[in-house]
Amino acid sequence: MKISKSLYSYYLIWPALLIYSVFFVLPAIIGLFYSFTDWRLDREVVKFIGFDNFERIFTDKTLQLAIKNTFIFAIVTVIGKNVLGIALAVGLNMRLKTRNFLRAIFYSPSILSVLVISIVFTPMLRSEGTINRFFETIGLGSLSQAWLTDPSIVIWTVAAVSIWQHTGFQMAIYLAGLQSISREYYEAATIDGAGAWKSFQKITLPLLLPAININLMLTLIGGLKVFSEVFVLTGGGPGNASQVVGTIILRAFGEGSWGLGTAVNTMLFLGVTLISIPLLIFMRRKEVTE
């Protein structure tokens, strides 16, 4: 009887665990197997080819460019979304009369569909679009760029659009963290002669670490798994200049190279896991020490 009681909590999670295993774990294991094969649409017999698909990932120039673009996108968006998110949260945590209205304005882009975002930004980012016309109007025509057709800046443009769309979501999480910090800490710091920056550095940031941890994980994993923004804004173009790992997976499956597609997907999974878990452990330790 004691054994059954001790296992009672596990009985409750078995149904969910079974569903998760059937629909997520099992397909992942099958996909791992097929990533070591020459599985293609035009072949009836699947052959084991070892690490050939993975060797191709690190020797094919297009795949290398996709990996590079994925890391650029992830790094830029992690920094942009979190820095701007904290700045907006701190600003809108002040006693402004319009703070609720401004919170809604800054948060609203995060609830929009990526398709809607592309419809709005694509004409704005053209060479003759609104952004370049604005620069010309204020006498800064030298800043005009071919935002979506210049291979050297296109991935940065997509990252900027993603930052614009999702920063409000990060802001909301930081706002929740800020509102849980007692005002007494700041009053005591003011009495001790601490300025605004010192209070932010010594009080706000340490107590905001749980929210920072959450946002870092969300933005990092989202950045490494980027697909929608690139797909709707550029389709991986011009040429292959804005290809990312997600679009390469789609293209591989679309071309019938299913073995290669599963290999790239497996690499993405391993990359996200190997980067996010150590960072999560590090941030959790920081929370404890602070």
Span 142-151, mean pLDDT? 91
Cβ burial 22-47 (10 Å sphere, 16+ → b, else e): eeeeeeeeebeebbbbbbeeeeeeee
- Read off φ and ψ for residue 48, nearest 5 degrees: -80, 125
Query: Domain coordinates of the chain in residue numbers?
Result: 51-289
pLDDT at 6 over 70: no
Residue 1: pLDDT band (50, 70, 90) is very low
pLDDT at 97 over 70: yes
Cβ atoms within 10 A of the Cβ of 251, count? 19
The predicted structure's pLDDT at residue 288: 58
Where is pLDDT greater, at 81 or 281? 81
* DSSP class of 90: H
DSSP string, 163-215: HHHHHHHHHHHHHHHHHTS-HHHHHHHHHTT--HHHHIIIIIHHHTHHHHHHH
| CA separation, residue 148 to residues 22, 107, 145, 233, 237 (Å) | 41, 25, 9, 8, 8
Span 193-206, mean pLDDT? 87
pLDDT at 5 over 70: no
Span 90-98, mean pLDDT? 89
The predicted structure's pLDDT at residue 111: 92
pLDDT at 2 over 60: no
Q: Is 110 helix (H, G, I), strand (E, B) or coil?
A: helix
Q: What is the CATH number of domain 51-289?
A: 1.10.3720.10
pLDDT at 222 over 90: yes
- Per-residue tokens: 90: 């701190």
Which residue has tokens 């929740």?
Answer: 176
d(CA 104, CA 114): 19
pLDDT at 189 over 80: yes
Residue 214: pLDDT band (50, 70, 90) is very high
Residue 218 near residue 281, CB atoms below 8 Å: no
Span 217-226, mean pLDDT? 94
